[in-house]
A and B are shown apart, each in its own frame.
Chain A
């Protein structure tokens, strides 16, 4: 047969006659998008595989266009892209589903919440923690102190209460601390780049920056002015919020990646930026936080026994647990103020009053802390402004002015005004104030590089744009030092972001693009959510967090929240509605839509839940609301087990009135699911969506029957997420049976043997390898001497590898000295 020469995108190729343009392009590794194509079966209806052929007026469908000699084909012209885009937009208009879950969308850290919760459900706690740490290296702290942006958007709220995401995050972290005492969470770093980065400041943002830069392969050193790393986590949050042992473990998991730290090294006192540059650092990141108290401008603020709250907290976290006085006033509504008040109560101060200027609802501190403080007996005086402090006979008097509540509630802070007749005076032994913080930047000599750093009017370091570069060449900044005090997760995000910019710049590569904002959703807000979606779920109350009893907590600094146990956590994780699509990483509709620039905000997406979800199959679910009727599932079924039909088409050519069923020819292989171009068909046991996290595909051979099927283990960390097969690899060409695709839970089963066992006093007990092997060698040796080599026999294993069977017989023949070696399946 003579070959036919054609040109595709400027590349020449000769192919067999009756080859389609689509197949010819594939031979050149040029991907032409298509939904419906299944060789010999599709009816070419998806109209996405359009290409331009020179000499033809209109784009042609490459899946049905046969090559002709001299054909010149373009697969990526503006014209075909536009046409494809139009067709994609039509399909998108009726696609009803969520790409990402609402919790994921609202988390500032973009943590794959649905994913880690699903891991908890499956008992994969270490994997859950690694998934969190993909984006948040501080899960121990964030799991304790996060304001929980995610829980606010949890759709479970529409049924009963939101998932306790934050408690679960803490649970997986603590679980690993309890079960991986050595701290090694097996987080992989890229190969060494040879670049060195110095990070000034070991608080949350500095630690995060270090973590992400180390993962990218850089040599990282953290310079910390204090005795220990932790920054605001250590000095702003007392032990009853984050116990020191937890914080130390958290820091260790980060340093275990191979990050160096030098504590007691204060910038400006012990070294300067030019010192670091001289040492050959390719980049320097300022992460010194904002822990210097801003003064409050009222008379009497400089009296003795009036101190900045932040300094007090630092003393507390340094170990000071006694306080000279019975009454204290804390000025300010920040987190620092609340933690100060709560610390005071624990130190035996009977009367603690927090004076702050906003309403109770709008207090700046996290709601949860505010609530706990109230429960602990702290008095809050809201809408109050301190005017003056005076000292009389060893007692401090603070005069305050209160504001009208009605006005406040209506119009907010800016319209507050003094209200006559509401002036009061409070008494205290000590007053602590928190009027905001700024960066603690030393005064540097005139000729120093540091003098070129530009500060903002509020005392923070000025950076430029998203890149977080300062005015100094090769110096970046991150965290509170550029934003002012924010939540820990926001410091983490800032660190993660700056790490990407630093990496791109010092390696001379393009910064990896930010994640696409493209997202199908079944409701951005609660009121958009079709109530039908919530039907069929029985109410199940959110698990409550066990806490210390009140009398206990007021006398010590023990952690107030005790954390979920395994049972509670598993139950709570089971409440997740799994809103996001578990086919996120394989969805062609999403992939093509993103690559063709479809903008759902202008063209629209499905808004109706038209079809109830069919979960009647034991292994998969069909959600026709996501189906684009490409029919690849049905056309790929080798057993003719699927029925997928439509009643007709609408004006735009879209299939309507869809129906789906399977018959008794189904062998449960789920090839249909792996063929689905959207998330319409999903496997029930695949619960963890992969949202732009790296996965590895390990090609291997099925360990079941002797057909030798090739499969790809989709691996995340140390866990098989699912098993798929390459459609081009013999002998199975993408097919797998139920065992090949599913039967791998045995790998992580708790019944697995993890230590050698040796019989002692009739019982098998754990032993070291050395002891176990020595015993075997001794006993086999004795038998050999006493009864001859043939008194020992070996059974080999038809499931183990060739190499191992070879060594087993070598061991029996060469070491034991017998041919008593066999296996059970030899016919």
Chain B
């Protein structure tokens, strides 16, 4: 989200999911995403697009079902996305497939891009990525197809890397070069990992910006907030979540308020987070379950779940949609917003809201993208932001005619190898992802017996060649070790993964794979490299 905000002026999905269903796209380039498991209904729409004739390029180290039915499957080495995409851009330039008029009128900094792309020859890229030169040409030609509408779809496979923002910049460069942004059926479409990532960002739950991506620099905006809220506001940039642990260990941060997250379980290099939490003076956790983090808290506040409260979520396609209270929360649990109001009052600051709708009205009055919305307007189908005025119908496609930042910016970016490459001691690569049946760390899905019936344990995908070499048979136990920790898991033999790579889902508390992963952070968004690390494997039988 951070890179797209810089290159285009907005970090959100540019188009809408129904574009696929309606056959708007001629070409779909899917990279770092397996919507069949992570976003099944979006995946279904893409299937429908294919049935309606869209061509599909899948770039994924794993041979997913989409890879199987793609017109072109690129199985590049994990973590070499920037090289791959730069290589495609290189070919687009050399083959003169780029949209010159678009680039001239709607973008800036093309010269810089050309300089950086120069070295990404097909041969060089092929060497880094392991993708045959021919395939690179084919991919570049197919995506660029002049006059056609090509959509890029990406997921956490792009974002959850130390180089995540570089990946997104490279993607943005390619799409701009080919003139694919600002049209129905095209665009850059990041699929959000959780239901309301988009909304949490929109609402300014970020260390570096007020709601609506207003940043922390504009006096006029601060004036508006301070007048409305009646307090002086801090203007110094805060600490990103992933830097909190180091700051605790350094003694800068002494108290934390954890709302609905479980860093002890979910943080990459979880041991680091635990050490930090142990050093804290005070921790409050607000959640629906007694999570591993909550077990370490000084105070735990019981919250309502989505079916027990009113509110809105903003989905990947920027559509703001209602959730509605179906029944009361259990026991004395309360809606999170009620807890914030009550705590705030205890601290001497009254928040006057009678309902979630009241809060939403304040959101709309402060957030330009939401300005024209109300519960009444979004009641039936929701609205896609920006909705600047009360009579604005919403915006299915961003950047039509003009970018949010005026002209789009090319942000040339160089390939850097992933933070941890296989070596003699840790000769294999672990990548992570989702099973369709489960979600995140399983706190919700794993409490559903009928789903557990279908999938109740983590299985590590091992390629048949590796299985043969290491003597691993179906369902045998293996131990996976990284430089940070180890887990025990059962193996399943599958040609979905590449030779030398093991894939594991991260939903299962009993197989805490974040004990293995790195806490290397992306330099811009400070997001961690969840996706891959070097490992070695022991067979337990």
Contact = CB atoms under 8 A, between A and B. Distances in A.
B300 A701 contact: no
A674 B443 CA distance: 27
Contacts of A824: 241-242, 261, 263, 266-267
Interface in A12-29: none
Contacts of A669: 40
A669 B197 CA distance: 24
Nearest to B236: A819
Interface in B107-166: 159-160, 164-165
Given A700-B323, A706-B192, A806 B317 contact: no
B195 A720 contact: no
Given A698-B324, A703-B306, A746-B443, A806 B41 contact: no
Nearest to A758: B299
Given A755-B332, A791-B254, A792-B257, A774 B346 contact: yes
B448 A708 contact: no
A710 interface: yes
Contacts of B453: 618-619
A801 B233 contact: no
B83 interface: no
B255 A747 contact: no
B200 A805 contact: yes
Interface residues of B, number: 149
Interface in A791-822: 791-822
A739 interface: yes
Interface string B223-253: 0000001011111111111101001000011
Contacts of A802: 196, 199-200, 202-203, 311-314, 320, 360, 363
A371 interface: no
Nearest to A708: B315
B494 interface: no
Interface in A467-483: none
A381 to B, nearest CB: 56
B312 A801 contact: yes
B344 A706 contact: no
Contact of B332 (A638, A769, A805): A769
Given A779-B282, A807-B351, A827-B165, A821 B207 contact: yes
Pick from B17, B266, B451 the residue with the most CB of A within 10 Å: B451
A775 interface: yes
A685 B1 contact: no
A308 to B, nearest CB: 50
Contact of B229 (A186, A730, A787, A814): A814
A793 B439 contact: no
A789 interface: yes
A826 to B, nearest CB: 6
Interface in A718-751: 718-720, 729-732, 735-740, 742-749, 751
Given A705-B439, A797-B260, A814 B198 contact: no
A562 B115 CA distance: 86
A181 interface: no
Mostly helix, strand, loop or mixed at chain A's interface? mixed
Interface stretch (B71-79, B179-187, B287-295, B461-469): B287-295
B306 A708 contact: no
A474 B253 CA distance: 74
Given A738-B451, A827-B160, A798 B256 contact: no
B322 A746 contact: no
Contacts of A825: 192-194, 197, 200
A798 B259 contact: no
Contacts of B44: 638, 735
Contacts of A801: 196, 199, 306, 309, 311-313, 323, 336-337, 356
A774 B351 CA distance: 16
B444 interface: yes
Contact of A738 (B234, B261, B297, B436): B436
A758 B40 contact: no
A739 B454 CA distance: 12
Given A684-B450, A827-B525, A701 B307 contact: no
Nearest to B316: A706
Pick from B193, B205, B445, B450 the residue with the most CB of A within 10 Å: B205
A754 interface: yes
B202 A667 contact: no
B246 to A, nearest CB: 12
B356 to A, nearest CB: 5
A780 B259 contact: no
A708 B203 CA distance: 17
A773 interface: yes
A38 interface: no
Given A705-B195, A706-B194, A780 B344 contact: no
Given A777-B346, A810-B351, A819-B236, A793 B247 contact: yes
Contacts of A369: none
Given A758-B299, A801-B337, A822-B206, A701 B200 contact: no
A754 B343 contact: no
B18 interface: yes
Contacts of B337: 801, 803-804, 807
A713 interface: yes
Nearest to B363: A806
Given A754-B330, A793-B253, A824-B261, A701 B41 contact: no
A301 interface: no
Interface in A160-207: 186
Pick from A684, A732, A751 the residue with the most CB of B within 10 Å: A732
Interface string A684-726: 1100000000001011111111111110010101111000000
A711 to B, nearest CB: 10
Nearest to B452: A745
B250 to A, nearest CB: 11
A41 to B, nearest CB: 13
A668 interface: yes
Contacts of A685: 449-450
A698 B308 CA distance: 11
Given A706-B316, A801-B337, A822 B39 contact: no
Interface string B51-69: 0000000000000000000
B445 A743 contact: yes
Contacts of A757: 290, 294, 297, 299-300, 302
B234 A818 contact: yes
Contacts of B284: 776
Nearest to B231: A814
A802 B282 CA distance: 26
Given A705-B39, A783-B254, A822-B240, A773 B346 contact: yes
B38 interface: yes
Given A718-B328, A791-B252, A801-B313, 14 more contacts: A706-B193, A732-B41, A738-B451, A742-B450, A747-B305, A753-B333, A756-B299, A757-B294, A769-B332, A804-B337, A808-B205, A815-B231, A817-B234, A824-B267
8 pairs of A and B residues whose beta carbons are closest in the complex: A754-B331, A708-B315, A797-B260, A801-B311, A819-B238, A706-B192, A737-B40, A796-B205
Interface of A: 186, 618-619, 638, 667-669, 684-685, 696, 698-710, 713, 715, 717-720, 729-732, 735-740, 742-749, 751-759, 764, 769, 772-777, 779-781, 783, 787, 789-827
Interface of B: 1-2, 16-18, 36, 38-42, 44-45, 47-48, 159-160, 164-165, 168, 190-208, 210-211, 216, 229, 231-242, 244, 247, 252-261, 263, 266-267, 281-282, 284, 287-290, 294-295, 297-303, 305-309, 311-317, 319-328, 330-337, 340-344, 346-347, 349, 351, 356, 359-360, 362-363, 381-382, 436-439, 443-445, 447-451, 453-454, 522, 525, 527
22 contacts: A668-B437, A669-B40, A698-B307, A698-B324, A706-B316, A713-B326, A731-B18, A731-B45, A731-B319, A735-B41, A746-B447, A752-B302, A753-B333, A755-B332, A775-B298, A793-B257, A795-B257, A803-B312, A810-B351, A816-B257, A817-B233, A820-B244
